């Protein structure tokens, strides 16, 4: 699929901001099956970006490479000008600095939550970084207050609801106040109320001053959580634009398997229904 006519929409201020990630021709395979196929992308400080794509488009793989959990077989990935490689992360000083600056929230919170209580879960990262007892206590409690979960601090994570688990997983990363927050399908498998709560948390975090990259195939809240939408298909970027421009491009969304378009004729007039949007277009 050729690059969509939608162009990257970044303000002059955003273009002047320092680069967080510089990704060039990135390639990654699982058992010889390509997941990323020459992907290139630039992310600047303070941007709020949504990675859009159907399952298998490469969104989760890209986030794991950006978090230094996977390493590409080809191409380059730089974080603030430094190569993000396996060798680089073997350097203790670089690894400590990077883990402090970049945090990833997994799609499935059960993968991320493993401590006996919610308090211990949120305190785990600060403990690993050697924070003082009082600093940990203050930061954990303020973070639990932010997610509305002070009353859950002594509960076992496995006994929480899906929405509560997701909020605690976010808190366990946000407690470190990273400069970059990577989110893999943060509202997936949640009921509408829990989805709204998670979206409100992401909108309120640090008043939008940090870099937030959210992988999703759910489009309803796209304009709320991001100012830039990057569409992936078969491991490549096929569009990079303002959310409104992407949402208006039905052909792009259909080609990327993000919407279903049902076409039929009624009374001699062609109708097109685009799901999940409540859009009903007439073509004479």
Per the domain annotation, does 120 fall within a domain? yes
Per the domain annotation, does 254 fall within a domain? no
Per the domain annotation, does 283 fall within a domain? no
- Higher local confidence (pLDDT), 14 or 215: 215
Domain, as residue range, for 103: 12-248
Structure confidence at residue 13 (pLDDT)? 52
Q: Convert the pLDDT of each residue in 203-244 to its tens digit.
A: 777 666 789 999 988 788 888 889 999 999 999 999 999 999
pTM, rounded to two decimals: 0.86
Per the domain annotation, does 270 fall within a domain? no
Six-digit token string for 11: 């303000």
Contact in structure between 226 and 239 (CB atoms under 8 Å)? no
Q: What is the CATH number of the domain that holds 190?
A: 3.40.50.300
Per the domain annotation, does 264 fall within a domain? no
- Would you say residue 279 has pLDDT above 60? no
- Higher local confidence (pLDDT), 206 or 258: 258
Whole-angstrom Cα distance, residue 193 to residue 24?
A: 39
Whole-angstrom Cα distance, residue 215 to residue 59?
A: 6
The pairing of strands 260-266 and 279-283 is: unpaired
- Residue-averaged pLDDT of the chain: 86
Structure confidence at residue 63 (pLDDT)? 97
Structure confidence at residue 103 (pLDDT)? 95
Domain tally, the chain: 1
Mean pLDDT of 170-190: 91
Structure confidence at residue 238 (pLDDT)? 96
Per the domain annotation, does 223 fall within a domain? yes
Structure confidence at residue 10 (pLDDT)? 53
Structure confidence at residue 284 (pLDDT)? 35
Q: Convert the pLDDT of each residue in 24-37 to its tens digit.
A: 999 999 988 999 99
Contact in structure between 42 and 19 (CB atoms under 8 Å)? yes
Per the domain annotation, does 21 fall within a domain? yes
Structure confidence at residue 237 (pLDDT)? 97
Dihedral pair phi/psi, residue 184, rounded to 5°: -105, 105
Q: Convert the pLDDT of each residue in 110-144 to its tens digit.
A: 999 999 999 999 999 999 888 999 999 999 999 99
Mean pLDDT of 187-205: 83
- Would you say residue 11 has pLDDT above 60? no
Q: Convert the pLDDT of each residue in 67-87 to its tens digit.
A: 999 999 999 999 999 999 999
Contact in structure between 112 and 174 (CB atoms under 8 Å)? no
Residues 6+ apart with CB under 8 A from 192: none
Mean pLDDT of 177-188: 91
Per the domain annotation, does 3 fall within a domain? no
- Would you say residue 5 has pLDDT above 50? no
Whole-angstrom Cα distance, residue 282 to residue 222?
A: 25
Whole-angstrom Cα distance, residue 100 to residue 124?
A: 13
Least confidently predicted of 2-16, 175-189, 194-208, 235-249: 2-16
């Amino acid at each position: 699929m050729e690059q969509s006519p939608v162009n990257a929409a970044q303000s002059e201020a955003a273009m002047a901001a320092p680069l967080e990630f510089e990704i060039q021709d990135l390639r990654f395979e699982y058992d010889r099956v390509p997941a990323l196929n020459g992907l290139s992308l630039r992310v600047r400080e303070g941007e709020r970006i949504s990675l859009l794509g159907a399952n298998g488009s490469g969104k989760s793989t890209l986030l794991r490479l950006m978090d230094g959990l996977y390493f590409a077989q080809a191409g380059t990935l730089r974080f603030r000008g430094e190569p993000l490689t396996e060798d680089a992360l073997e350097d203790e000083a670089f690894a400590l600095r990077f883990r402090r600056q970049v945090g990833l929230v997994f799609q499935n919170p059960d993968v991320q939550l493993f401590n006996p209580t919610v308090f211990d879960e949120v305190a785990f990262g600060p403990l690993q970084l050697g924070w003082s007892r009082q600093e940990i206590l203050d930061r954990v409690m303020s973070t639990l207050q932010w997610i509305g979960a002070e009353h859950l601090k002594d509960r076992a994570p496995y006994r929480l609801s899906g929405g509560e688990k997701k909020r605690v997983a976010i808190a366990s990363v946000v407690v470190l106040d990273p400069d970059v927050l990577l989110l893999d399908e943060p509202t997936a498998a949640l009921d509408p109320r829990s989805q709204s709560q998670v979206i409100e948390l992401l909108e309120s975090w640090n008043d939008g001053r940090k870099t937030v990259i959210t992988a999703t195939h759910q489009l309803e809240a796209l304009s709320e959580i991001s100012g830039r939408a990057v569409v992936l298909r078969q491991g490549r970027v096929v569009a990079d634009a303002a959310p409104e421009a992407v949402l208006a491009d039905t052909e792009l969304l259909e080609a990327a398997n993000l919407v279903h378009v049902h076409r039929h004729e009624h009374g001699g007039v062609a109708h097109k229904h685009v799901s999940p949007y409540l859009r009903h277009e007439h073509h004479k």
